[in-house]
């Protein structure tokens, strides 16, 4: 068995069990309505989580995604509402801003050798602060484009609606999978996270890859912000607080190793789905505090981090080569 898939199998089992529990109690779990709603509700989280998957596989972290979503929303709302831009143009502009933002964070991380979590923490402040400076209130967006988009959907036989943003999520997911597994960039990301020194020696352009990864994450966070705007038809500077944590949880639960090098974009989808199932269950139940979602996700996060720790340190043939480590002769000194 390929042991790197083991966490992913655990994820699938957790998902299946949760889903079956839900289905058993609420038969509606099986309808396309619930499934389509989940895809729509979780689309912005899912899109951001795809970007986060790349960052974590590369051995980094991006804490700025929630703030980028909020900034995107406020920016679009103002550009459309006050400047009279067409939404598509506003989206294009904000995507460019997002890409620049992410690339700058990546460059600071790579060139100044500052830990990623601190740089993206500053990025989180900056983006959230930017959103607050633009507006402190929620700005509603009135534009026919938004109505057009939300009237566009595919209707399943049992009245489930596959919305445009759900489709955007699925496309992002698909592109993410292709990018991760079938392009040189994707494999370079894996190599970087697996062993950055070796990656450099094997000819991976480390700087370019690092910058690209953070750019990708910010672009996808911006796209998540656009989806969020389409979903809520407003821009709100306090939107998506803590989204980065949900995204990290989805990635880790989805079988991606927090230390980098191993991970699956498809697994992240399951991680998002698990969050969706928990939330749907709690909503259906009606008596449970919605904060149970956070607690259950936190516990799953702990469970999967513990699982990763166990697999990486106690299984001889997993990622740490114990044999190699145990048998080292004293290293050549400062000769």
What track of x and - describes contact with other proteins for positions 70 through 99 (by CB under 8 A)? ------------------------------
d(CA 226, CA 232): 10
Which range binds other proteins by CB under 8 A, 27-35, 165-173, 223-231, 284-292? Answer: 284-292
Enter the tokens of residue 55.
């960052």
Q: Does 206 bind other proteins (CB under 8 A)?
A: no
Q: What number of other Cβ atoms are within 10 A of residue 22's Cβ?
A: 20
Which range binds other proteins by CB under 8 A, 29-37, 42-50, 148-156, 257-265? Answer: 257-265
Q: How far is the CB of 63 from other proteins (least distance, A)?
A: 9
Tell me whether residue 31 or residue 312 sits nearer to other proteins (CB atom): 312
Enter the tokens of residue 133.
């400076």
- Among positions 2-21, residues that touch other proteins (CB under 8 A) are 2-4
Q: How far is the CB of 224 from other proteins (least distance, A)?
A: 19
d(CA 195, CA 191): 6
Q: How far is the CB of 225 from other proteins (least distance, A)?
A: 17
Enter the tokens of residue 95.
């995507």
Out of 40, 188, 222, 229, name the contact with other proteins by CB under 8 A: 188
Which range binds other proteins by CB under 8 A, 8-16, 29-37, 71-79, 242-250? Answer: 242-250
Q: Does 287 bind other proteins (CB under 8 A)?
A: no
Q: How far is the CB of 193 from other proteins (least distance, A)?
A: 7
Contact 59, 259 (CB under 8 A): yes
Q: How far is the CB of 111 from other proteins (least distance, A)?
A: 6
Tell me whether residue 34 or residue 211 sits nearer to other proteins (CB atom): 211
Q: Does 262 bind other proteins (CB under 8 A)?
A: yes
Out of 39, 61, 253, 265, name the contact with other proteins by CB under 8 A: 61
Which range binds other proteins by CB under 8 A, 69-77, 78-86, 125-133, 157-165? Answer: 125-133
Q: Does 130 bind other proteins (CB under 8 A)?
A: yes
Enter the tokens of residue 335.
């000769």
Out of 142, 182, 208, 283, name the contact with other proteins by CB under 8 A: 182
Q: Does 111 bind other proteins (CB under 8 A)?
A: yes
């Amino acid at each position: 068995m390929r042991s790197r898939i083991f966490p992913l199998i655990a994820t699938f089992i957790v998902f299946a069990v949760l889903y079956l529990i839900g289905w058993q109690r609420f038969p509606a779990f099986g309808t396309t309505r619930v499934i389509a709603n989940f895809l729509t509700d979780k689309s912005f989280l899912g899109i951001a989580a795809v970007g986060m998957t790349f960052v974590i596989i590369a051995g980094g972290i991006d804490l700025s995604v929630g703030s980028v979503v909020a900034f995107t929303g406020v920016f679009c709302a103002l550009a459309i509402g006050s400047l009279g831009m067409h939404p598509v143009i506003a989206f294009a502009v904000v995507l460019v801003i997002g890409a620049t933002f992410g690339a700058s964070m990546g460059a600071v991380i790579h060139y100044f050798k500052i830990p990623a979590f601190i740089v993206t923490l500053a990025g989180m402040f900056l983006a959230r602060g930017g959103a607050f400076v633009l507006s402190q209130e929620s700005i509603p967006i009135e534009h026919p484009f938004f109505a057009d988009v939300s009237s566009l959907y595919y209707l399943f036989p049992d009245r489930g609606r596959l919305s445009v943003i759900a489709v955007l999520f699925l496309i992002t997911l698909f592109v993410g999978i292709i990018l991760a597994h079938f392009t040189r960039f994707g494999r370079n990301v894996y190599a970087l996270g697996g062993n950055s020194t070796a990656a450099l020696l094997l000819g991976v352009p480390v700087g370019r890859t690092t910058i690209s990864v953070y750019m990708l994450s910010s672009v996808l966070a911006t796209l998540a912000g656009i989806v969020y705007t389409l979903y809520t038809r407003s821009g709100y500077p306090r939107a998506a607080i803590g989204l980065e944590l949900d995204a990290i949880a989805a990635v880790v639960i989805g079988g991606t190793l927090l230390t980098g090098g191993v991970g699956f974009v498809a697994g992240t989808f399951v991680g998002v789905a698990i969050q969706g199932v928990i939330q749907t269950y709690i909503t259906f139940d009606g008596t449970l505090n919605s904060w149970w979602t956070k607690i259950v996700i936190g516990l799953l996060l702990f469970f999967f981090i513990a699982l990763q720790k166990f697999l990486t340190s106690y299984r001889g043939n997993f990622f740490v080569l114990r044999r190699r480590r145990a048998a080292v002769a004293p290293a050549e000194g400062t000769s």
